[in-house]
Amino acid sequence: MGEFPPQKTQKLQETSVSVRLELHLSVGALTMFLLKAWRQTAFGIYGYLNFTKSGFIEHSKQFKPEDTQTRIEGKNCIVTGANSGIGFATAEGLASRGANVYMVCRNKERGEAAQSKIQSNTGNQNVHLEVCDLSSVSDIKSFASQFSSKDVPVHILVNNAGLLEHNRITTSEGFESNFSVNVLGTYAMTELMLPLLEKAAPDARVITVSSGGMYTTPLTKDLQFSEENFNGVQQYSRNKRVQVALTEKWAEINKNKGIGFYSMHPGWAETPGVATSLPTFSKALSGKLRTKEEGADTIIWLALQPKEKLVPGSFYFDRAEAPKHLMFAATSGSHALIDPIFESLKSLSSVSA
């Protein structure tokens, strides 16, 4: 049998390589499609069974009432995004137990209305309003500087402020808006409060309010969603995954400073934020969503427990440690990326403790 001419042999080889490459890419794309579909499906089923009001009712059968009856007079608590929803319920819950509460809100008028309502409902006048835009690192730095001048220890910092913006919007500082509030704002606020948290050691703690949406995505270094077709829900989920990984990192690097770091998921609660950002979801689950108080329950629980009962860096849901990854979702290995992400946040914010 005769041999092919060299030119034809080379062309056949190139064609074979091209076919194998296309096949490899097709298999890779199909695998990623199936993986994403599985994550969404698993999250939907797991969420419907656990994150709704019925899930809370079922889980609350295991709650111990005495766990949230502790009084915390004299303790200083900062709650971001405290004028409505879960943040309001958290601030009110802490105030009702005697804490000095500092509500960090972007809007002065709404903040004042919430402050007055909490003071009236709880009889605690030690509820203070701090106006700060959590999407602005500059604003956070100004708040931190002014607050530090009070020279008071911070016993509890609740990073609750969050944003789900469906459109790609860039802040005045040049950052994607969801990232600026959920990730960079959380990072800057926490880092700048560390010296005051150390003053409250060994009883200080930081509680970051994440979301079950983080189950649908791995950690990624693409912090500001560089993809052309912007997806606000996906970006929000990515942000919430970063918060969980950041909590692990903070717990690790501050382990000898007497500060506890915990993240949590409030479940699917009926709040103004959910109604505005996810109207279809809110309507579809009307009557099945948790109240804001049920959403805040685990935050209050984390704030009140003896630290020896809690696991540093862990993720909590309904007063119990919860998994950070769903089965077969292939997200667990991604947390190895937190070190370069941490350095990126330090660089972008120009903040480090």
Active-site positions? 236
* Backbone φ/ψ region at 128: left (φ over 0), alpha (ψ -120 to 50), beta: beta
109: exposed, middle or buried (Cβ count in 10 Å: 0-12, 13-18, 19+) = exposed
Contacts of 160 (CB under 8 A, 6+ apart): 79, 80, 81, 82, 86, 87, 90, 209, 299
- Peptide bond before residue 202 is cis, with ω within 30 degrees of 0: yes
For the chain, the helix, strand and coil percentages under 3-state DSSP, each to the nearest 5: 55, 10, 35
Q: Which residue has the tokens 């695998």?
A: 31
Of residues 85, 176, 86, 95, the one with CA closest to residue 129: 95
Cα–Cα distance for residue pair 50/272, rounded to 1 Å: 21
Helix (H, G, I), strand (E, B) or coil at 202: coil
CA dist 127 and 99 (Å) reads 8
Are the C-beta atoms of residues 344 and 337 closer than 8 Å to each other? no
Closest CA to 331 of 57, 105, 81, 38: 38
Alpha-carbon distance of 261 to 320, in angstroms, equals: 15
Nearest of 310, 287, 312, 282 to residue 298 by alpha carbon: 310
